[in-house]
Chain A
Amino acid sequence: MTTMTGKAIGGGARYVDERLTSANFIRRSMNKVFPDHWSFMIGEIALYSFIILLLTGVYLMLFFDATAREVIYNGSYVPLKGVPMSEAYSSTLHISFDVRGGLIMRQIHHWAALLFVSSIVVHMMRVFFTGAFRKPREINWLIGVGLMVLGLLEGFAGYSLPDDLLSGTGLRIAYSVGQSVPVVGTWSTFLLFGGNFPGESIIGRLYVVHILLVPGILLALITAHMMILWYQKHTQFRGPGRTEENVVGSRMYPSYAAKGGGFFFLVFGVVAALGGLAQINPVWMYGPFNPSQVSAGAQPDWYIGFLEGSLRLSPGWEIRAFGHTIPLNILIPGVVLPGIMFGLLALYPFLEAAFTKDKAQHHLLDRPRDKPVRTSLGVMSLTFYFVLWIMGANDIAAHLFRISLNLTTYMGQVALFLLPPLMYAITYRICIGLQRSDHEVLVHGVETGTIHRLPSGEYIEVHAPVQESQLVLSPVEPDHPERIEGERGPRALVSAAGRAVGSFFVAKKKDTSVPADQRERDDDTLTKR
């Protein structure tokens, strides 16, 4: 068996090797080590949903007609029969009702798009809170930010294509946002839309953006992202045997390939189930776009929600002077604010390195509690974002909780400035508290639950000292004193392993890393508190 497969592979491999000299490269690749942690899989979800998007997108392209030409609908969806609409909308209805399996393809595509952006955002949070963006990975962070922004753009362009009432309203707002930019705004929106809103060209142009331009850039950036990841090797959490100089985990082939490949099918399976069972973007219910109509309570896809929220929270400010108008009520929430948010996000690794004067290379990840300032900044920013996002649906919230719509807006305006600093303070305290509890464990050992009665009659609980193998983090690295130079924060607090005491989610695990005889010896050295 082995010899047979070996022979078969040998023949093919020799053919390739004599043309590409690939044996060493392939061997190294197969032996490449990937650290195992559930949080490292989130980025994979983004990659896999991108593949699903390409597969389903190509299929949809075969049926979709991105033209604004007006036609009279005559398909099998009866309520819209005889209604004048654009070819784009009509062909979307055609895919949904008259193409076998067309609706499920559309829905899988839409769900995969939501998953793509969501997993990018969660992946970025993981990278941020564990400090994986630090030197030498700043370039990949920048590529990641670019991927996220392009993902938003791609999603927006995609759901604008059907030219239904909901997406048309979104385009109308996008047009107004573009128009609000001083000096060049009117020009650029006219160039983009080919004239005044809505124009004849925008659907066709968004189509090119959606199926060629942005996916092409996304594909190139994803490739670069993966190649850099591959070359730099993955970061890993601290743990026994793990250092800044190594990677501990499973090999690419076969273990990681099997798990990762299997994970792709799981992600695809989830999206397929959603596409079949959970209706998404039922464009036939909205009707064709009409600038004189709008539906109330209609929300954009989730990732555009924060822009909708910031536009809603804006006060009615406008500057009119010297024959020109600057609509601050759109410019600030629609252009300046997202610009600042994405700008700070992109620059964060460089800002942190500058403020902490940290020029060292990092391959070991931080636990969020050990970098309270960064963690608090992250939570603060997420809170800011979250308030905007919630406010994108304040009409739904007002309806749901039966409070005045106007009140929700005032609440949002206050919360936008009040909640983020509050969350900073709370997060900081939580981090310090967690550090102290780690410190406690390190100094006094782990509670064993064993109560001893002393001859004097006093009861004490026995604490077991933390074993070396349970220590996950020791910020002081005597081998590399230069690494901790300039590192801020309460360095005196040394954290012990979460697994030494268990955590909220995971019970304390039986320590299997220490041989039984070793464990017994350790048990003898119980310390008394």
Chain B
Amino acid sequence: MSTHDSAGGESLTGNTSASAPGDTGRPANPPSAKSPTGPEDVGPRADKRSERLVATCFGVSSLAAIAFLVVFWALPKTDVAYTPLLGVCLAVSLFGVGVGAILWAKKIMPDEEAVQERHPMYSTPEDAAKTAAVFAEGTEKTGFARRRLLRYSFLGAMGTLALPIVPIISDLGVHPRGNARQLKTSPWKKGDRLTTEEGAPVRIGDLEYGGILTVFPNGNTSPSNSLAPTVLIRLRAGENQPRPGRETWEVDGHVAYSAICTHAGCPAKLYEQQTHHMLCPCHQSTFLVTEHCRPIFGPAARPLPQLPLALDNEGFFVAGAAYQEPLGPSFWERS
């Protein structure tokens, strides 16, 4: 066992587990556990065998790397096996290096167990006091504590330097003032035609009983108009139980509701004809279509807003009025 103090003041003790067993005390990695072959693993023949094994690993790695090149260029990239083969070649070549290096360490390098002392994880009180004194002396020299004018003007300058950040940040988006108005504005105006995703207007008879159709205002399917998607549903006569004051919002059993969930804004339009449940797949808020889409299950707190329906003089569905309330998830300025 050898002990020496290095320049860093750390003493390090190293020994092989065979020579000084009393100090290792580490049955987790005893020499006999290194290889299942046990004692045969020592001696020149075993050493050669280990060396060949490690070299084989590295050799396999090289071969796999070359195979990667072959696959990369020789195989058409549309081949179903292209990506899997690349993965296998890359994995084998990486594994070859990894397994080889670990076997090298385990089978060829001597199994040393070293002991190293720790530093104390604190400075001596004298050192700490000295440091504090140096800092106090430096601070004293600046006069930061004494010179009030300097102190306040300096802090003031630092404070005012933070001000330019405000307009820079606030110009990242539209002006905050406009937020609420933008979110509260209905994407549907009175007289907007209900059109399908392809832009076709919808009339009575296009939907069967229990049918559902996603509609957009006047063919505006742009993703930027994200609150606009609305569902048109045809109920049987008498199934709808409108809210007081909304008796005229349906047209011949057709009702229209915002498709955007009032919880987190996903499209809630998984409609079940029999139960008249409309489900949002994101968080499973469920709305009852026949009862003004009130939430009956899940995290949503508000009904889906209803779009008043009417027919234009060509017999196509139009919005009888704009949405009467903000669409989509709640926000601070909503109401």
The minimal Cβ–Cβ distance linking A85 to chain B, given in whole angstroms, is 10
B267 interface residue per 8 A CB criterion: yes
A200 interface residue per 8 A CB criterion: yes
Inter-subunit contact B264/A173 (CB<8 Å): yes
Inter-subunit contact A241/B267 (CB<8 Å): no
Contact residue among A199, A246, A273, A315 (Cβ-Cβ distance under 8 Å from B117): A246
B86 interface residue per 8 A CB criterion: yes
Inter-subunit contact B301/A255 (CB<8 Å): no
Interface residues on chain B, number (Cβ under 8 Å): 102
Answer whether A262 and B97 are a contact pair too, CB < 8 Å, given A36-B29, A248-B26, A320-B335: yes
Inter-subunit contact B284/A312 (CB<8 Å): yes
Closest to A23 in B: B7
The minimal Cβ–Cβ distance linking A251 to chain B, given in whole angstroms, is 5
The minimal Cβ–Cβ distance linking A255 to chain B, given in whole angstroms, is 5
Contacts of B251 in A (CB 8 A): none
A486 interface residue per 8 A CB criterion: no
Inter-subunit contact A329/B94 (CB<8 Å): no
Instruction: Give A179-194 interface residues, CB cut-off 8 Å to B.
Output: 179-183, 185-187, 190-194
Contacts of A107 in B (CB 8 A): 83, 87
A461 interface residue per 8 A CB criterion: no
Inter-subunit contact A294/B267 (CB<8 Å): yes
Inter-subunit contact A258/B101 (CB<8 Å): yes
**How many cross-chain pairs have Cβ atoms below 8 Å apart between A and B?**
333
Inter-subunit contact B265/A176 (CB<8 Å): yes
User: Of A12-20, A140-148, A264-272, A369-377, which binds chain B?
Assistant: A264-272
Answer whether A255 and B115 are a contact pair too, CB < 8 Å, given A296-B281, A314-B299: no
Contact residue among B116, B170, B259, B333 (Cβ-Cβ distance under 8 Å from A324): B333
Contact residue among B10, B105, B116, B335 (Cβ-Cβ distance under 8 Å from A325): B335
Answer whether A175 and B31 are a contact pair too, CB < 8 Å, given A317-B301, A469-B25: no
B186 interface residue per 8 A CB criterion: no
User: Of A429-437, A442-450, A475-483, A506-514, which binds chain B?
Assistant: A506-514
The minimal Cβ–Cβ distance linking A501 to chain B, given in whole angstroms, is 13
Contacts of B43 in A (CB 8 A): none
User: Of B126-134, B151-159, B199-207, B219-227, which binds chain A?
Assistant: B219-227
A490 interface residue per 8 A CB criterion: no
Inter-subunit contact B114/A262 (CB<8 Å): no
Contacts of B31 in A (CB 8 A): 512
Q: Contact string, B197-235, partner A, CB cutoff 8 A, digits 1/0? A: 100000000000000001010000101111111000000
Tell me the complex Cα distance, A292–B106, Å: 59
The minimal Cβ–Cβ distance linking A149 to chain B, given in whole angstroms, is 21
Q: Contact string, B32-74, partner A, CB cutoff 8 A, digits 1/0? A: 1100000000000000000000000000000000000000100
Inter-subunit contact A197/B115 (CB<8 Å): no
Inter-subunit contact B28/A250 (CB<8 Å): no
* Most chain B beta-carbon neighbours within 10 Å: one of A274, A275, A333: A275
Q: Contact string, B250-284, partner A, CB cutoff 8 A, digits 1/0? A: 00000000011001111100100000000001111
Contact residue among B112, B170, B197 (Cβ-Cβ distance under 8 Å from A191): B170
Instruction: Give B12-29 interface residues, CB cut-off 8 Å to A.
Output: 12, 14, 21-29
The minimal Cβ–Cβ distance linking A384 to chain B, given in whole angstroms, is 18
A254 interface residue per 8 A CB criterion: yes
Contact residue among A32, A190, A325, A513 (Cβ-Cβ distance under 8 Å from B25): A513
Q: Contact string, B101-116, partner A, CB cutoff 8 A, digits 1/0? A: 1101110010011111
A172 interface residue per 8 A CB criterion: yes
Tell me the complex Cα distance, A491–B161, Å: 57
Tell me the complex Cα distance, A170–B27, Å: 51
The minimal Cβ–Cβ distance linking A269 to chain B, given in whole angstroms, is 4
A395 interface residue per 8 A CB criterion: yes
Contacts of A251 in B (CB 8 A): 14, 112, 114
Contacts of B322 in A (CB 8 A): none
Contacts of A499 in B (CB 8 A): 27-28
Answer whether A272 and B91 are a contact pair too, CB < 8 Å, given A254-B109, A311-B264, A325-B335: yes
Contact residue among B85, B174, B266, B328 (Cβ-Cβ distance under 8 Å from A294): B266
B311 interface residue per 8 A CB criterion: no
Inter-subunit contact A196/B226 (CB<8 Å): yes
A276 interface residue per 8 A CB criterion: yes
A330 interface residue per 8 A CB criterion: yes
B297 interface residue per 8 A CB criterion: yes
A489 interface residue per 8 A CB criterion: no
The minimal Cβ–Cβ distance linking B53 to chain A, given in whole angstroms, is 14
Inter-subunit contact A31/B114 (CB<8 Å): yes
Inter-subunit contact B183/A239 (CB<8 Å): no
Contacts of A199 in B (CB 8 A): 173, 224
B302 interface residue per 8 A CB criterion: yes
Answer whether A182 and B332 are a contact pair too, CB < 8 Å, given A259-B101, A259-B102: yes
| Other 14 A-B pairs with CB < 8 A, given A191-B172, A269-B98 | A97-B78, A101-B72, A173-B264, A173-B265, A186-B331, A239-B25, A249-B113, A254-B109, A255-B112, A291-B267, A316-B263, A316-B299, A325-B330, A363-B118
Enumerate chain A interface residues (CB-CB to B < 8 A): 24, 27-28, 31-33, 36-37, 76, 97-98, 100-101, 103-104, 107, 136, 169, 172-173, 175-177, 179-183, 185-187, 190-201, 232-233, 239-242, 244-251, 254-255, 258-259, 261-270, 272-277, 289-298, 308, 311-318, 320, 323-330, 333, 361, 363, 394-395, 405-406, 409, 469, 499, 509-515
